[in-house]
Amino acid sequence: MATLKRIYVYLVAFISLGTVSFGLASLVNVILDPLLGGPDSVSLNSVGSSYYRENVAFYAAILIIGLPVWAGHWIAAQRWLRPDASAPDVERNATLRKLYLYVVLGVAMLTALYAASEVVTSALDLVLRQRDAFLTYLTNSVVQLLVALGIWYYHWRVVTADRLATPERGGGATLRRWYFYGVTFVGLITLANGATLLTAALWQEWVASGTGLALREVIAQRVGLALAGLGVWLWHYRWTSTVETDDAARTTEDRWNHSAIAGQSGPPGASAIEGRGAGAVGSELRRATVVDDRRSTLRKAYLFGAVALATTATLYYVSQGFYELALAALGIERIAGEPSLVLAVGRAVAGAAVFGALWTLHWQAIQIEAAVQPEVSRQASVRRLYTYLVALVGEAMLIVAAASMLRLLIDVGDHVVNGLYARSGTDWWQEQLALNLTLLVVGLPVWLFHWIRLQRLANRDDAAGVAERRSLFRRMYLYIGVLAGVLTMLFHGSVVLYALLNRALGGSPVGDVPDFFKALSDCLVLGLVLLYCWRTLRADAAWGEHDEAVSTHLAPAPANGGGPGVALAVISGADRRAIEGALAELQRALPASARVEVRWTDSAGAEVALHSPAASP
């Protein structure tokens, strides 16, 4: 019954809030438009015209109806949090309430992102005196931005108050991460897109040495995208990525954890925290969020997703630039209407520089967090998904380049032997060579960089090496290589063997010679891939007995007692709640870098783990 009540209240509140924001922004803009002037289409909206009166009446009606509906339902929802309510802490932590709050925050922030971009664009258009620039465009965007930020700020204060009163756990914490990392990723894409387009436009203007007219037509929009994306991305990224010392972070997290352990309505000294103002409260909440989120899977998903996006874009731009240079080096003349070589390479360099910087930033964040925070299983799965996928892309580029290069050499040799080379000229092979060199130069470093790291981890003799060798993504990667090699041998190998046997038995040549050479080159390259992947699988399997020993026995603690330590404890009792409370107290007392992993089992399983032959020093 309570769930249905929440669904109704928060759903109506969300819909009515949307109508209120739309009606308010539209009503203000309708009132301001005739006062500020604008294009011919806006002149119909002059004060006193029927069009103006209809718009004012329409948007005012939306606002007058929507505001009481939202206020009534929201006040009802807030009453459930009063101290005299039946269960204020339960309501404050309700997943549906968190869903409403974070969805509103997300929609408001994305609306503000779009509006901020339009504000910057319209302002620059006015400064640069563009023909289609009007003050009303700027005011419309400013109004939309202020409405969105006002809604966001109010609900952000509500979220802050809720988190001060009751620690955010479970579904609420997950929804918070979805909001933060989702908006951060959208801001990152907007920033990268705007920065790439802006850099390319600046390069084009500098190379072309023009009058700046073309640049003025596009610079406003691109600057708007870049600045709006930068603001949204930077604020959200810093909120979840502020690095604190372990002691400071743990002290902050203790305040939130203690209230959950002791059953209090708020952390000790909550009133003192509130008395220090919004800045201090935000700093406290941010530190607690960082400690919590360094263990979250969604944070790893964002970081590796950003790295994957930056890697893909960087590879694309580097490939474009190298391909243009290879064509020029091989003497290929540019087609009429194409941009010059300097302009084309400059655009590629601009894109690679922007996305390369983003790749470096996020990759360093991954390395820093890996050094201070142990990797849990789901985070390791996210890392493996990214690493093996990028390694697979690099390997595919390398395979295509090697097979195509081999076919090209055979084709060139065939043309020379048969006298076709002189008659057909040299242009037919240059573009193929440029493409193959591009794939080779780009794909080989990408594959080596990721595969060497994976192999180093898989060749370790500790638990991390066991987990890597047994991981699903590693098996999938290797078996994809084996499958590609086997299928190539099955189909193309049959073509090669048929042609050879037919010649050996004195039969007449049949089929197309280029098809034979294509099948032969594919067999040679994919055969090597098959051999390498199969040998790697066999090497992983050779660790079998060692892996079983590591996975079923506990490594002894170091004799000197120094360095990082791992302890195994068995806690048993009749009251599971009491055990959970003790574990929470233990987690609170440990430093921030420590991690408590709990696995519930029966007495027999505990005895096997605790009294393993290697468990004692």
Predicted confidence (pLDDT) per residue in 327-348, tens digit: 888 877 766 666 778 888 888 9
Q: Which of 59-63, 474-478, 541-545 has the lowest mean pLDDT?
A: 541-545
pLDDT exceeds cutoff 60 at 270: no
* Average pLDDT, integer, range 434-449: 92
CA separation for the pair 178, 106 (Å, rounded)? 9
Q: Which of 356-365, 456-465, 554-563 has the lowest mean pLDDT?
A: 554-563
Confidence band for 382, pLDDT divided at 50, 70 and 90: confident
Q: Where is pLDDT greater, at 122 or 546? A: 122
pLDDT exceeds cutoff 80 at 535: yes
> What is the per-residue pLDDT for 341?
80
Q: Give the whole-number percent of the chain exceeding pLDDT 70.
A: 74
pLDDT exceeds cutoff 90 at 2: no
Structure-token match 């302009």, residue found = 343
Helix axes 297-329, 427-458, angle to 10 degrees: 150
> What is the per-residue pLDDT for 210?
57
Q: Determine if residue 48 is left, alpha or beta; phi over 0 gives left, psi from -120 to 50 gives alpha, anything else beta.
A: left
Confidence band for 1, pLDDT divided at 50, 70 and 90: low
Predicted confidence (pLDDT) per residue in 554-587, tens digit: 555 555 555 556 677 777 665 677 777 777 777 7
Closest-CA residue to 439 (of 525, 515, 374, 524): 525
pLDDT exceeds cutoff 90 at 71: yes
Which residue type does 443 have? G
* Average pLDDT, integer, range 374-382: 74
CA separation for the pair 496, 520 (Å, rounded)? 6
> What is the per-residue pLDDT for 213?
54
- For residue 589, what is the enclosing H or E element? helix 576-589
Confidence band for 391, pLDDT divided at 50, 70 and 90: very high
> What is the per-residue pLDDT for 21?
95
pLDDT exceeds cutoff 70 at 298: yes
Q: Give the whole-number percent of the chain exceeding pLDDT 90.
A: 38
pLDDT exceeds cutoff 90 at 205: no
Asked if 589 and 251 touch (Cβ cutoff 8 Å), the reply is no
Structure-token match 């599971």, residue found = 576
Confidence band for 254, pLDDT divided at 50, 70 and 90: very low
CA separation for the pair 427, 429 (Å, rounded)? 6
* Domain assignments of the chain as residue spans, ordered by start: 2-181+235-241, 377-551, 565-617
- Of 255-269, 423-437, 513-527, 548-562, which has the strongest mean pLDDT? 513-527
pLDDT exceeds cutoff 90 at 369: no
Q: Determine if residue 112 is left, alpha or beta; phi over 0 gives left, psi from -120 to 50 gives alpha, anything else beta.
A: alpha
Confidence band for 112, pLDDT divided at 50, 70 and 90: very high
Cα dihedral 510/512/517/519 (nearest 10): -80
Asked if 493 and 520 touch (Cβ cutoff 8 Å), the reply is no
pLDDT exceeds cutoff 60 at 539: yes
Closest-CA residue to 372 (of 66, 594, 521): 594
> What is the per-residue pLDDT for 214?
58
> What is the per-residue pLDDT for 89?
84
Asked if 179 and 289 touch (Cβ cutoff 8 Å), the reply is no
CA separation for the pair 220, 201 (Å, rounded)? 11
Q: Where is pLDDT greater, at 256 or 162? A: 162
Predicted confidence (pLDDT) per residue in 29-52, tens digit: 888 877 776 554 444 555 557 778
* Average pLDDT, integer, range 581-599: 73
pLDDT exceeds cutoff 60 at 275: no
* Average pLDDT, integer, range 75-81: 91
Closest-CA residue to 392 (of 404, 380, 400): 400
Asked if 289 and 295 touch (Cβ cutoff 8 Å), the reply is no
> What is the per-residue pLDDT for 106?
97
CA separation for the pair 144, 53 (Å, rounded)? 21
CA separation for the pair 66, 560 (Å, rounded)? 70
Asked if 164 and 270 touch (Cβ cutoff 8 Å), the reply is yes
Total residues belonging to the chain: 617
pLDDT exceeds cutoff 50 at 245: no
pLDDT exceeds cutoff 50 at 430: yes
CA separation for the pair 162, 80 (Å, rounded)? 12
> What is the per-residue pLDDT for 551?
58
Cβ-based burial of 419 (10 A; exposed 0-12, middle 13-18, buried ≥19): exposed
* Average pLDDT, integer, range 191-195: 94
> What is the per-residue pLDDT for 503?
75
Q: 76: which 2 tokens?
A: 């009802």
pLDDT exceeds cutoff 70 at 237: yes
CA separation for the pair 529, 516 (Å, rounded)? 20
Asked if 128 and 216 touch (Cβ cutoff 8 Å), the reply is yes
Q: Which of 181-195, 364-378, 458-472 has the lowest mean pLDDT?
A: 364-378
Handedness of CA 347, 348, 351, 352 (dihedral sign): negative
What is the distance, to the nearest Å, from the Cα of residue 229 to the centroid of all Cα atoms in its chain?
15
Q: Where is pLDDT greater, at 46 or 444? A: 444
> What is the per-residue pLDDT for 570?
72
> What is the per-residue pLDDT for 272?
39
Q: Average pLDDT over the chain, rounded to whole?
A: 79
> What is the per-residue pLDDT for 370?
76
